[in-house]
Structure 1
Amino acid sequence: MELTREQEQDYRSRVRGCLLGGAVGDALGAPVEFMTLSAIRSEHGDQGIQEYVADRGQNRHGLVTDDTQMTLFTMEGMIRAGLRRDRGIGFNPVGPLHQSYLTWYETQTRRGSSGDWPGWLQGESWLYAQRAPGNTCLDALAASVAPNGEWQRYGAPAENHSKGCGGVMRSAPLGLLPPTWNDVDSAVFSWAAEAAGLTHGHPTGKLSSGALALLVHRLVVGADLTAALDTVMAELARHDHHEETASALRRARDAAATRPATPETVERLGGGWVAEEALAIAVYCALARPRPEEFLDALSLAVTHSGDCDSTGAVCGNILGALHGETALPPQLTFEVEGRGTMLQLADDFVWEFTAHHLLHGEYGPWTRWSERYRG
């Protein structure tokens, strides 16, 4: 089955919307992370965060954090996994994703690329900025490599018990496979859970990541938000240790149905520091402000609280971007989000790999410039 021209345009819009929406939410929430709700209101008014706050050190607006950085490396890893599929290896993104996350690790620990890792993202100088990278991710990735730079634990799960939100906040791209991949729900969930497990060992950290990826995939396929969440809940019930994630999502859905759309309601769901809370807050805000014209209102709600504002904003933006597509993005924020050009290139490359790969590279060769761009 091939996508029609109209379907392909819709798909491209959702991929772009998901990636850019997450970045906008991330940049909106980053400057107020670690602030209390009362401090946010004192500084920005009762309406909460509606526009970018300038970086206090450089007076720049729209700067993203490690949430967006790692999401971009997830996208690159997915593209390389697609290319491997046509070399007779089959599609399984976890190995290429581990390699991509190690490339991100290098951007956070070196001033420039060593050339040891593949992919063109390592050449993007803006990605070397350190924006409070998560220690759990850094430590787990450092443990994957021996001192001489060789693989030590390639593809192995992290040896920790963390359920921090560092896995879920980067997992949306695993759900961006096209509507022609309409029978891979369980696989998408499992790939995302396993990829999150590369850095976060707690079952809830992994299952929440699987839940986000599957939610995004169902939205890309064309489901509405309620139907997509029903699919997620059914998939969760098939997995051991699903109770924390399922309970958090039930509370988010109940809050959207019964409580006012306020920061106080958000804070009843937690602070977003752990995976299931970040997912629940993002889902609640998307349900509370579900219309395309409410995109900014949903993001504002997602970042105006005393918690991990950038991560909850990023995940909410991923969800709404996949639901509505790029034309719903608030232009007054999107035009100056850091790295927009890079994100659009990556989003388009992702679409081409999964809809027109036969025009870019052969099944077993020869190597093309595309193959070199996404070598692994």
Structure 2
Amino acid sequence: MSTLAPAVIRNRIKGCLFGNAIGDAYGLATEFMTTRVAKELYGNGPIAFGTDPGYPVWEDHHRPITDRNDFTDDTDQMLVMLQSLQQTQDGILHPINFARRLTEWENHGIIEIGADPGRGLGYTVGRVLSHRDFSSNPHRAAFEVWDSAGRDLAPNGAVMRTAVAGVEHFWDEHRVVENAMAAAKITHADPRSVLSALISSVLISRFLRGGGSNLAEDQGRVWNPRLTQAGYHQELLSYLERGTNLQGDSTLNPTYNETPNSEFEPKNYDKIEHERLVKTSIAGGTYRDQFKNHRYSDWNKDRPKVTLRDDIGWVGIDNVGEDDAAGALARSVIADYKFLLQQTHVAPPSEPGQRVQDQWAAEMESMCFPQSMGQLHLGANDSIGYTFKCIGISYYGATRRQDPSPTALEYGGGEGLFRGLMEQVTIEGGDADTNCAVMGSLLGARFGLQGGIPENWWRNLQHLDWLSETIDGYTNRVLAAYEAQGQNQ
């Protein structure tokens, strides 16, 4: 269970899920830019967000003005997972239900907010969703796509949506692990992608259980007692192989343990769309409606000249240092689950004397605990979507100390750390919205919404009312299940 009071857990759950959305929306400012281009446009910041001043987001076809302060497909897919869990109500991520809800999102978007169908759909997820067997055997579909690409495609599309897997049944780490693996393998068969989702989810769950604040207390805790049980390692390794052809026909069609309650229930599209339009009319229109006459000639008009700040307001990501307790907690997650990379049979062929699996495990550790942010080369064009870059910068950022004496008040405390990290990681470019979404979810789980994320940022997020209602409803169910579990012990 957790050492935290229910009110604190609630704040951290909301921080985790809002942190995902805020990081996603903030990082859009430089998504797919090289570091050089991002710095030419924004210098060393700040970038305007919410109603805070800064360099306006560069406007182009990828980031139109109508998308300011709005999240993207990263958070869309996290919310699709949340809605799947809310439908089944049993705390289990059912792969077929989630798969069909992803297809619903591809076809209809999140209709409650009028989001475009399948906006930002990535290459790997798109190929898997179009596979002939996706709706009935998603794990097998994902494997066939990965296999056809040479078993060397490990993008970040699984980890970007995984925050909710760390919240669901956060007090039961075994359930968190299974849910994260089930959700990741729906579209990503590469063990590196699966492990990225798993270690992100597990770290979130340990933050929600009170970890990362007291080093001595954490060292005495057993986070997942099953890790010491005979056969458990093999059970998880076998799950990684599920849906592959490594053991012949017996693994072609994994058992998904479907129940009547897990059967996919499509949304009432017409009803939801009508309700959305009525609300929009009452509110006097949407944010997008303000820019219906916005023309190409207005893009980036009167943009201020970029000049570098002499002082960014705090000591910075590479100088603030690692927080002892948060860092040790993150390292414990890697230590507990790296065997899944080291011992898996789901891997491309190895060169003589060089096991791919060992290289993967070593790379994950080095990228999650780098010497500096620059070591990750976030803006390098040839690998911006690599899953270890995303989980690496997320682990690195989420384990930083708070600056004890920032030169600008807005960089103090948990909120200030969140602000400073978002600025610096976004200005590195690359797949910045995904990097910041995952990092934001970890920071939110560590510090909470109130006190952990600048209030001006989350209160000015597009679709705030719907997002708040959705997250509150989900949080209420999770905490009710948590309290019921505590009463039964």
TM category (shorter chain) comes to 0.7 to 0.9
Query: Does residue 1:303 correspond to 2:426, yes or no?
Result: yes
Q: Distance in 2 between matches of 1:269 and 1:56?
A: 19
Offset at 1:72? 0.8
Offset at 1:35? 1.5
Query: Does residue 1:330 correspond to 2:454, yes or no?
Result: yes
1:59–1:246 Cα change, 3 Å: same
- In structure 1, what is the equivalent of residue 22 of structure 2? 24
Q: Distance in 2 between matches of 1:70 and 1:7?
A: 30
Query: Does residue 1:59 correspond to 2:65, yes or no?
Result: yes
Q: Distance in 2 between matches of 1:155 and 1:253?
A: 27
In the TM superposition, 1:130-209 aligns within 5 A as: 131-143=119-131, 151-153=135-137, 156-158=140-142, 159-161=144-146, 162-177=153-168, 181=171, 184-209=172-197
Structure number with larger C-alpha Rg: 2
In the TM superposition, 1:1-376 aligns within 5 A as: 7-47=5-45, 49=47, 51=49, 53=57, 55-56=59-60, 58-60=64-66, 61-81=68-88, 83-84=89-90, 91-108=92-109, 122-128=110-116, 131-143=119-131, 151-153=135-137, 156-158=140-142, 159-161=144-146, 162-177=153-168, 181=171, 184-224=172-212, 225-239=326-340, 240-241=343-344, 243=358, 246-252=361-367, 254-255=369-370, 258-259=371-372, 264-267=374-377, 271-288=383-400, 290=402, 292=414, 293-327=416-450, 328-356=452-480
Q: Distance in 2 between matches of 1:194 and 1:153?
A: 12
TM-score by length of 1: 0.77
Q: Distance in 1 between matches of 2:125 and 2:204?
A: 23
Which string of whole-angstrom CA distances, capped at 9 and with x for unpartnered residues, describes residues 83-108 of structure 1? Answer: 246xxxxx354343223322222225
TM-score by length of 2: 0.60
Q: Which residue type is aligned with residue 156 of structure 2?
A: C
Which string of whole-angstrom CA distances, capped at 9 and with x for unpartnered residues, describes residues 206-264 of structure 1? Answer: 11111111111111111112243133112323313464664344324543xx44xx6x3
Offset at 1:43? 1.4
Q: Distance in 2 between matches of 1:275 and 1:124?
A: 30
Q: Percent identity?
A: 23
1:308–1:137 Cα change, 3 Å: same
Offset at 1:44? 1.0
1:19–1:144 Cα change, 3 Å: farther
Offset at 1:142? 2.3
Q: Distance in 2 between matches of 1:54 and 1:26?
A: 16
Q: Distance in 1 between matches of 2:182 and 2:86?
A: 17
1:77–1:268 Cα change, 3 Å: closer
Q: Which residue type is aligned with residue 174 of structure 1?
A: A
Offset at 1:36? 1.8
Contact 1:209–1:275, Cα closer than 8 Å, also in 2? no
Aligned to 2:16, the other structure's residue is in SS state helix
Offset at 1:77? 1.7
Answer 1 or 2: which has greater helix percent: 1
Q: Distance in 1 between matches of 2:82 and 2:94?
A: 10
1:54–1:333 Cα change, 3 Å: farther
Q: Distance in 2 between matches of 1:322 and 1:21?
A: 8
Q: Distance in 1 between matches of 2:132 and 2:472?
A: 31
1:145–1:54 Cα change, 3 Å: farther
Contact 1:22–1:313, Cα closer than 8 Å, also in 2? yes
Which string of whole-angstrom CA distances, capped at 9 and with x for unpartnered residues, describes residues 103-162 of structure 1? Answer: 222225xxxxxxxxxxxxx5414332554221211221222568xxxx443564512223
Q: Distance in 1 between matches of 2:474 and 2:59?
A: 31
Larger mean Cα displacement after TM superposition, 242-251 or 196-205 = 242-251
Offset at 1:185? 2.0
Q: Distance in 1 between matches of 2:45 and 2:27?
A: 14
Offset at 1:189? 2.1
1:245–1:226 Cα change, 3 Å: farther
Q: Distance in 2 between matches of 1:233 and 1:167?
A: 18
Give the 4+ runs in structure 1 shifted more than 6 A. none
